[in-house]
Amino acid sequence: MRSSMEAERRHARIRRLEDAALFRLLVDRVLDYAIFALTPDGHVATWNQGAERLKGYVAREIIGQSFERFYTEEERAVGRPAQLLAAARTEGRVEDEGWRVRKDGSRFWADVVITALTDDRGHLIGYAKVTRDLTERREAEHDRAARLAAERTAERIERLQVATAALAAASRLVDAAEILTDIGMRTLGAAAAAVAAPTPDGAALEVLDVRGYERHLLKPQQRLSIDAPYAMTCAWRSHQPVFLASREQVQAAYPELLGVVADSPFAAWAAVPLRIEGCMLGILVLSFAEPRSLDPDERGFLLALGEVGAQAIDRARLYESEQRARGEAEAAVAAQDKFLSIAAHELRTPVAAVKAAAQLADRSIARGQLDVARFTRHLASINRSADRLGALIEDLLDVSRLRTGQLRLRREEVELGLLVQEIVGRYSATERGHRFTLRAPSEQVRVDADPLRLEQVLDNLLSNAVKYSPYGGSIEVRLCLEAEGVTVTVTDHGIGLPVGQEAGIFEAFGRGSNATARQIQGLGLGLAISRQLVEVHGGRIWAASAGEGQGTTLRLWLPVVSPGAAE
Amino acid sequence: MKRVLLVEDDQGLRELIAEALVDDGYQVDGAPDGAVALELAAQYPPDLVILDLMMPNVDGEAFSTAMRQLEGLASVPIIVVSASRYSHEVGIRVGAQVALRKPFDLNELCEHVEQFLR
């Protein structure tokens, strides 16, 4: 029974609240929302305390005024208030967010709902407008966005610092390139990246580091002609970054790239120059899996990365060229050391012979065994050794001068046919009894050469033929005139060369293994000197042999003086 | 008469050393390389070897190793005469008692020979 009485009382209370005046009071007391009615033509009809608090007007000031004054000038100018009312009328309800103006002219960010009010028959009798101030929430959102942006920027700056530190430690070009692709990819979330630098001739870009691309698209050491259509080469040619946010943008801005882009699994690209003090050192390219428009911050990051990358590449290049120069210098010193040690070694034996002969003569005198015939023999031995030493020193000096480029040629026009004839004649007269045949063209063969050096080379070819073939063997010498040069061929029928040793005999101290095995005297300098002498004359020298015991053919080619120039 | 095996690839120098040793009363067998020297050593066992190190075919080191295997030649004294800057080190390796470097003193060489063969 008691509960039914309570229910009765509750119903009475609800009926009291349903009373219109009471409901008005309720709306009036709401402070967090501006709730007011508008006439069909947009004039303020009612005003609650929330509206007064939000907009600053008291009821008597604003009732009867147009609601347009709540809008900003810009929105009034484009007829925004009327549009909203029209929309509310047709849709029944419209929601809007935007700046609204208070009585004092200050602005707040408002969330507005306008509802059309109709009577029982559907005639418009006005609008209900509920406005909420979202300024604080909006500011909080802005703050969050700004904080996120700041965090992203800070992160990029940190990545840039990490990159700078890592790049500073990179001493090789490929290391610097690897760091660039890695940082670029990770920071901007690219699916693939590559770094390329120009080839020495500047005609192409060579890929230094690459990741994320299929090998048929781009691989290490691949060379792209700078005229080829790629984002990389576009950036290289223009010295400007190339940002391609989507395939559509490629079509609009770089139609020449469409062919390449068609085959690419990627959807957006960025290529930035690696540039230092205006000097282009390379390109960093990033490819994205999805269309991607880089914001100014991200572009700034890439350009900055390009700059520190260029510094690193510059440094690495310097370091590498220094290393190379040092390596070459060390190799030259080592070669010089080896040369000196072999040279000194080879000089010791003839010096020992001179000394031994002199001491032997001394001993004979001391022992009273002085015998003219013996004494003469010792003197002859000293003489021979001294001659050998002299020739050896001359050869060693030649090798050294040729190696350091200090050999001076006194070039003049030389008639090669005559010179060859003279030298062959000289050799024919020696006691070793080799039989020479000489075949030469009837016309003159003129070469521009140092006659003494040319004689030295020809003499060396013939002395080799004599030295490495049996007494009485036949040696053929032939001169062959060609279009632009002349070939001198010296063929013997001697010990030949073991297979594969044809080139080695032209190296300093290089000799055929069969020559040393047979104890044929020689240092292995003559042909090395000849080769270098021929090369400084713009010619070539080479050897051929069918193998050990098959004889050797030495060939010399020299450019001839053209008949026109000679006359 | 004591026998000296002289292994030296330079013919002129070989003849000069041989002449000095003959003057001093030794029998000298000259060899231009290690291979010939080995044949001579087997045929005419030497009382002393004068050995160059750098020679074609069988060099001084290979020769001394092979010679020491020959009957009665395990402890024949060796005098190394070489142009090599390492003649001393290699000399020790081949078990030489003396190592001289070219150009050497002929009297000094003969004195060493005399010490061993007296």
**What DSSP assignment string belongs to A463-511?**
HHHHHTS-TT-EEEEEEEE-SSEEEEEEE--SS---TT-TTGGGSTT--
Tokens (6 digits) for A466: 């004599």
- The pLDDT of residue A17 is 58
β-pair partners for A209? A195
Q: Tokens 């929330």 correspond to what residue? A: A50
CB A51 within 8 A of CB A69: no
Tokens (6 digits) for A202: 């500047």
φ and ψ at A547, to 5 degrees?
A: 135, 180
User: What's the pLDDT tens digit per position in A168-225?
Assistant: 888 888 899 999 999 999 888 999 999 999 998 889 999 999 999 888 888 888 898 9
Report the residue of chain A nearest B106, measured CA to CA: A356
Distance, CA of A368 to CA of A356 (rounded, Å): 18
Distance, CA of B30 to CA of A529 (rounded, Å): 34
pLDDT class for A129, splitting at 50, 70, 90?
very high
Distance, CA of B77 to CA of B68 (rounded, Å): 10
Is A433 a residue whose pLDDT tops 50?
yes
Is the minimum CB–CB distance between A376 and chain B shorter than 8 Å?
A: no
Is A518 a residue whose pLDDT tops 90?
no
Distance, CA of A261 to CA of A63 (rounded, Å): 65
Amino acid at A144: R
Tokens (6 digits) for A196: 């390329």
3-class SS letters over A9-73: HHHHHHHHHHCHHHHHHHHHHCCCEEEEEECCCCEECCCCHHHHHHHCCCHHHHCCCEHHHHECH
Element (H, E) at A38: strand A33-38
Burial of A59 (C-beta count, 10 Å sphere; 0-12/13-18/19+): middle
Is A119 a residue whose pLDDT tops 90?
no
- In a mutational test of the A interface, the residue from B8, B53, B79, B106 whose CB has the highest number of chain A CBs within 10 Å is B106
How far does B42 lie from chain A, in Å, by closest CA?
A: 22
Is A69 a residue whose pLDDT tops 60?
yes
Is A1 a residue whose pLDDT tops 60?
no
Which segments of chain B have a pLDDT < 50?
Answer: none
Q: What's the distance, CA A271 to chain centroid?
A: 14
Interface contact flag, A360 B102, Cβ < 8 Å: no
- The pLDDT of residue A123 is 87
Is the minimum CB–CB distance between A338 and chain B shorter than 8 Å?
A: no
> What stretches of B1-118 adopt beta strand conformation (E)?
3-7, 27-31, 48-51, 78-82, 98-101
Is the minimum CB–CB distance between A359 and chain B shorter than 8 Å?
A: yes
Q: Which of residues 380-439 of A touch B (CB under 8 A)?
A: 381, 384-385
Q: Mutual orientation of helices A135-169 and A296-366 as an angle, nearest 10°?
A: 10
Closest to A539 (Cα-Cα) out of A454, A414, A423: A454
Q: Nearest by CB to B103, which of A345, A348, A363?
A: A348
Is A430 a residue whose pLDDT tops 80?
no
Distance, CA of A460 to CA of A440 (rounded, Å): 19
- Torsion sign over Cα A346, A348, A352, A355: positive
- The pLDDT of residue A565 is 45
Q: Mutual orientation of helices A296-366 and A372-404 as an angle, nearest 10°?
A: 170
Each residue of A415-437: b (16+ CB within 10 Å) or e? ebbebbeebbeebeeeeeebebe
Q: Which of residues 61-80 of B touch A (CB under 8 A)?
A: none
How far does B28 lie from chain A, in Å, by closest CA?
A: 16
Residues in chain B, how many? Answer: 118
3-class SS letters over A195-232: EEEECCCCCEEEEEEEECCCCCCCCCCCEEECCCCCHH
Distance, CA of A263 to CA of A247 (rounded, Å): 12
**A360 interaction partners in chain B (CB closer than 8 Å):** 16, 19-20, 106
pLDDT class for A2, splitting at 50, 70, 90?
low
What's the maximum distance between 2 C-alpha atoms anywhere in chain A?
Answer: 168
Is the minimum CB–CB distance between B10 and chain A shorter than 8 Å?
A: yes
Least confident of A172-181, A321-330, A426-435, A512-521: A512-521
Distance, CA of B21 to CA of B105 (rounded, Å): 13
Distance, CA of A485 to CA of A228 (rounded, Å): 42
φ and ψ at A409, to 5 degrees?
A: -100, 135
Runs of H (alpha helix) within A284-371: 296-366
Maximum average pLDDT range among A100-104, A120-124, A396-400: A100-104
Distance, CA of A5 to CA of A401 (rounded, Å): 130
Report the residue of chain B nearest A383, measured CA to CA: B12
Distance, CA of B95 to CA of B48 (rounded, Å): 12
**B59 interaction partners in chain A (CB closer than 8 Å):** none
Closest to A411 (Cα-Cα) out of A536, A540, A566, A562: A536
Structure ipTM? 0.91
- Report helix, strand or coil for A92: coil
pLDDT class for A566, splitting at 50, 70, 90?
very low
Share of chain A above pLDDT 70, in %: 97
DSSP for A288-304 reads: ESS--PPPHHHHHHHHH
Closest to A203 (Cα-Cα) out of A231, A223, A177: A223
What is the model's pTM? 0.53
Distance, CA of A355 to CA of A336 (rounded, Å): 28
- The pLDDT of residue A19 is 66
φ and ψ at A194, to 5 degrees?
A: -155, 155
Tokens (6 digits) for A533: 């002498």
User: What's the pLDDT tens digit per position in A441-452?
Assistant: 988 899 999 999
- The pLDDT of residue B61 is 85
Residue B103, preceding bond cis, omega within 30 degrees?
yes
Question: In whole numbers, what is the pLDDT of chain A averaged over residues?
Answer: 88
β-pair partners for A44? A38
- The pLDDT of residue B4 is 97
Is the minimum CB–CB distance between A323 and chain B shorter than 8 Å?
A: no
User: What's the pLDDT tens digit per position in A292-324?
Assistant: 999 888 898 899 999 989 998 888 888 888 999
- The pLDDT of residue A383 is 92
Q: Tokens 């691949």 correspond to what residue? A: A222
Interface contact flag, A519 B32, Cβ < 8 Å: yes
Tokens (6 digits) for A421: 């004839």
**HSE on the CB side for B18, CA within 13 Å?**
17
User: What's the pLDDT tens digit per position in A259-279?
Assistant: 888 888 999 999 999 998 888
